[in-house]
Amino acid sequence: MGITDFFSDLMATVGFHEAHAEAPAEEDEDNKDGGGDEDREEKSVEGDGGGEKAEEGGDEGGEKEEEEGEEAEAEEEEEEEDDEPVDPKPKMEAECAKSAQCAPYKHHYDECVERVTAMHEDPNYKGPKEDCVEEFFHLQHCATQCAAPKLFKALK
């Protein structure tokens, strides 16, 4: 294998290839939706006028079918919502955050929230800007560590 073969193979693998899939024919879709209506209009013009009534009735039937389809979709969505399991993790973590195990972290977080709230309410405050992100993460870590064993027992 020579250097030219190497480069031609490399270019063949890296280069863009043409897509070989065929797109669906647009003419078939047009005939299903709009093509039939044109044929009906031509027949109604040539006929005695009865075709216009049939054409109007066809539109109403299409609207009824759409309404029935929407109702069926709404029923399917309701069934999907009922079948979805409830995630027990947030409830377990909330219980753990209130437990004695995480009480010190909750106490520090609550104190921090009070300080930050007072800082924002006081227009003359010129001290350092503070947030409670660190305290929040400590509390969440404690709640997650507390809830994890309970969660895995509940999922078995």
Give residue-wise pLDDT tens across range 106-131. Answer: 999 999 999 999 888 888 888 788 89
Query: 10-14, 54-58, 88-92, 128-132: lowest mean pLDDT where?
Result: 54-58
The verdict on 121 and 137 lying in the same domain is yes
Three-class secondary structure assignment of the chain? CCHHHHHHHHHHHHCCCCCCCCCCCHHHHHHHHHHHHHHHHHHHHHCCCHHHHHHHHHHHHHHHHHHHHHHHHHHHHHHHHHHCCCCCHHHHHHHHHHCCCCHHHHHHHHHHHHHHHHHHHCCCCCCCCCCCHHHHHHHHHHHHHHHHHHHHHHHC
Percentage of residues in the chain having pLDDT higher than 70 = 56
pLDDT in the model for residue 85? 83
pTM strictly above 0.95: no
Confirm whether 2 is domain-assigned.
no
How many domains does the structure of the chain reveal? 2
Q: Looking at the structure, do residues 48 and 64 belong to the same domain, yes or no?
A: yes
Judge whether 108 and 135 are in contact, CB under 8 Å.
yes
Residues 45 and 80 in one domain: yes
CATH code where residue 94 lies? 1.10.287.20
Domain end residue (candidates: 84, 100, 122):
84
Question: Do both 51 and 75 map to the same domain?
Answer: yes
Backbone angles phi, psi at 127, to 5 degrees: -80, -170
For residue 112, being part of any structural domain is answered with: yes
Cα torsion 31, 35, 39, 41 to 10°: value is 160
38-54 average pLDDT score: 47
d(CA 31, CA 152): 57
Domain that holds residue 94: 89-155
pLDDT confidence of residue 47: 47
The reported pLDDT for the residue numbered 116 is 92
Per the domain annotation, does 32 fall within a domain?
A: no
Q: Which of 30, 55, 84 is the last residue of a domain?
A: 84
